[in-house]
Amino acid sequence: MSFDGLFVHALTDELKEICEGGRISKIQQPYENEVILKIRANRKNVSLLLSAHPQYARVQLTTIPFENPDSPPHYCMILRKYLDGAVIESITQKENDRQLVFSFKSRNELGDMEHLSLIVEIMGRHSNILLVNTPDNKLIDAIRHVPASQNTYRTLLPGAEYRPAPDQQKYNPFNYDGPFPVSDLNTKDKIKWVQSTLQGFGKDSAVELVHRIETQTEDSPETVYQQFMQMFSPERIQPTLIKNGNKETFTPFDYHSIEGERISYDSLSSLMDRYFQDKSERDRVNQQANDLTQLVSTFYQKNEKKLKKLEKELKETEKADQLRVKGEVLTAYLHEVKKGQEKIDLPNFYEENQMISIQLDPQKTPAENAQKYFSKYQKLKNAKVHLAQQIASTKAEMAYFDTLLTQLSIASISDLDDIRQELRDGGYLKKRSSKKMKPKKSKPEAFMSSDGTSILVGKNNTQNDELTLKKAKKSYWWAHAKDIPGSHVIIEDSEPSEKTIEEACMLAAYYSKYRLSSSVPVDVVQVRQIKKPNGAKPGYVIYEGQSTYFVTPSAEAVRSLKA
């Protein structure tokens, strides 16, 4: 579902209960459009995420750890200046719109009391987070500046007068007691009337209300509407994730109009952590990894073209034996060949003396013509060996770049520096200035099997080599998707249970090129059986004595095993 006004209404009650009266202890801005407020409230520390992301704008409490930039952005410094140590006086929603206002009181540098508002506007690509001096109604700063040239209705620059976003001229559904003239409308027009009349109704919510009106025919539309709105009271909220194939929807309670498997959560914030974590993280990674993905894709495509060319040239070498045969037949019958001939037919003693046609250079002697065939034969014979080596090398390069593309598709932000450095070390990317500090190496993903065994998953070649060849004991067990790019998985146990092995295989399948497939083959072998050939690419190993399991990767199962 969209993060609509109804959802914000329910979320406001959740935030008020936990955050009101709390004090800001820390402020972070891990990404361009997102701010984390660390709050000490009711003797607990909580993290409040405020996001103005163009696609995933939202407000929620979160337990997901975020990595911060080396130096805080300008907006983060402004928030720290004004809100560090501030107390949250109130949290309110503007009507039933997707706007939340956090009201603060704090003391300025002179010790005087200040009243400030942090206004989060969730409006798709126009989303913003605004810090306003409440008494003066002046904008201190915005996470996204909007000059008058971009928006003639209002300017969002430091020092400008704060002007609220334009009113949609709709009724607040929590106060609406007017007519509900939908009985004679078709389903599509009913939905249209709800969304055009009532503020904060996203498409899913409007469809759900109409679905209830059309299925609860014993009650009037007004009665069904009032019952629906009562579901948004705090005691009736039931945060629900609905899964239908690869599509996921989150709702404040069970929406009967949406088909799929239901998963309940303790809070709206924990529901959003589950729904947005992979999506927003994947979006950030894609943005930061875009240059790497293009680079690696280009190298892969170049090698793909090279391979086709080499295989075509290799096919040409199949003519080598024909040239040798013609040279030998010509040599055997030199006495029958005369200089100046352009062609001669001679019996081929390799094919029961069937006649073979041999082209000749009239400018050369019979012996020179025979030598010409032997020279061409030798050239193609040497080329065949060289081409076979080139083809093997090119296939290895393609497999390597295919592995990198898979790793980029499952990478976290912290993994990208490792992959970038690996490309530099391999000469595929220009090396950074020696003056700059090398980024800290990322760590493998840690999981815990159902019976408490530690399982580690390498998500890039640096981690894979480190895990398998340096850190893992020889008696530990290793898993990897069979014959496809994927992660090295280490079971940190010499005698793991069958259940642990199956869970490790599921992780290996999930962190592979076939993560969306079913019945993925995964090889399992003890670490002592793993070898790295001399000169092999990062992450490449060979092994023997493996057992093969067939498993179906599951995102839910992966989350349940996360340590």
Confidence of residue 281 (pLDDT cuts 50, 70, 90): confident
Any residues with CB less than 8 A from the CB of 192 and at least 6 apart, and which? Answer: none
- Statement: residue 173 has pLDDT above 90: yes
The whole-number average pLDDT for the span 182-204 is: 96
Please report, for residues 114, 131, 433, the alpha-carbon distance to residue 160 in angstroms, rounded to integers and kept in the order given: 18, 11, 42
**What is the pLDDT, as a whole number, of residue 57?**
94
- Statement: residue 282 has pLDDT above 80: no
Q: Per-residue DSSP letters for 497-553?
A: -HHHHHHHHHHHHHTBTTTT-SSEEEEEEEGGG-B--TTPPTT--B--S-EEEEE--
The whole-number average pLDDT for the span 15-28 is: 97
**What is the pLDDT, as a whole number, of residue 326?**
84
Name residue 146's amino acid: V
- Statement: residue 415 has pLDDT above 90: no
| Residue 510: both structure tokens together | 């999930």
**What is the pLDDT, as a whole number, of residue 99?**
96
Confidence of residue 494 (pLDDT cuts 50, 70, 90): very high
Rounded-to-integer distance, Cα 267 and Cα 19, Å? 14
- Statement: residue 176 has pLDDT above 90: yes
- Give the other-Cβ count within 10 Å of 412's Cβ: 15
Contact (Cβ atoms closer than 8 angstroms) between residue 448 and residue 423: no
- For the whole model, what pTM was predicted? 0.75
**What is the pLDDT, as a whole number, of residue 167?**
87
Name residue 550's amino acid: F
Which fold is adopted by the domain 5-161? Answer: ibrinogen binding protein from staphylococcus aureus fold (2.30.310)
User: Of the spans 363-377, 416-430, 481-495, which averages the highest pLDDT?
Assistant: 481-495
pLDDT digits (tens, 9 = 90+) for 437-472: 566 678 899 999 999 999 999 999 999 999 999 999
Confidence of residue 324 (pLDDT cuts 50, 70, 90): confident
- Statement: residue 62 has pLDDT above 90: yes
Rounded-to-integer distance, Cα 270 and Cα 557, Å? 17
Q: Which among 240, 257, 93 is positioned nearest to 191, based on CA atoms?
A: 257
Name residue 328's amino acid: E
**What is the pLDDT, as a whole number, of residue 436?**
57
CB half-sphere exposure, 206, CA atoms < 13 A? 21
**What is the pLDDT, as a whole number, of residue 434?**
57
| Residue 397: both structure tokens together | 């390069």
Give CA angle at 139 (143, 170), nearest 5°. Answer: 85
Rounded-to-integer distance, Cα 29 and Cα 70, Å? 11
**What is the pLDDT, as a whole number, of residue 111?**
83
- Statement: residue 285 has pLDDT above 70: yes
Would you state the torsion angle of the CA atoms of residues 210, 215, 217, 219, taken in this order, to the nearest 10 degrees?
-70
pLDDT digits (tens, 9 = 90+) for 117-154: 999 999 999 999 999 999 999 999 999 999 999 988 99
The whole-number average pLDDT for the span 314-337 is: 84
User: Of the spans 106-110, 328-332, 507-511, which averages the highest pLDDT?
Assistant: 507-511
- Statement: residue 435 has pLDDT above 60: no
- Give the other-Cβ count within 10 Å of 178's Cβ: 10
Rounded-to-integer distance, Cα 376 and Cα 325, Å? 12
- Statement: residue 433 has pLDDT above 80: no
- Give the other-Cβ count within 10 Å of 325's Cβ: 18
Paired strand residues for 133: 116, 138
pLDDT digits (tens, 9 = 90+) for 528-561: 999 999 989 999 999 999 999 999 999 889 989 9
Look at 144-153, 276-285, 322-331 and tell me which has the smallest mean pLDDT: 276-285
CB half-sphere exposure, 493, CA atoms < 13 A? 16
Three-state secondary-structure class, residue 46 = strand
- Statement: residue 322 has pLDDT above 90: no
- Give the other-Cβ count within 10 Å of 311's Cβ: 12
**What is the pLDDT, as a whole number, of residue 447?**
97
- Report the mean per-residue pLDDT for the chain: 92
**What is the pLDDT, as a whole number, of residue 563?**
65
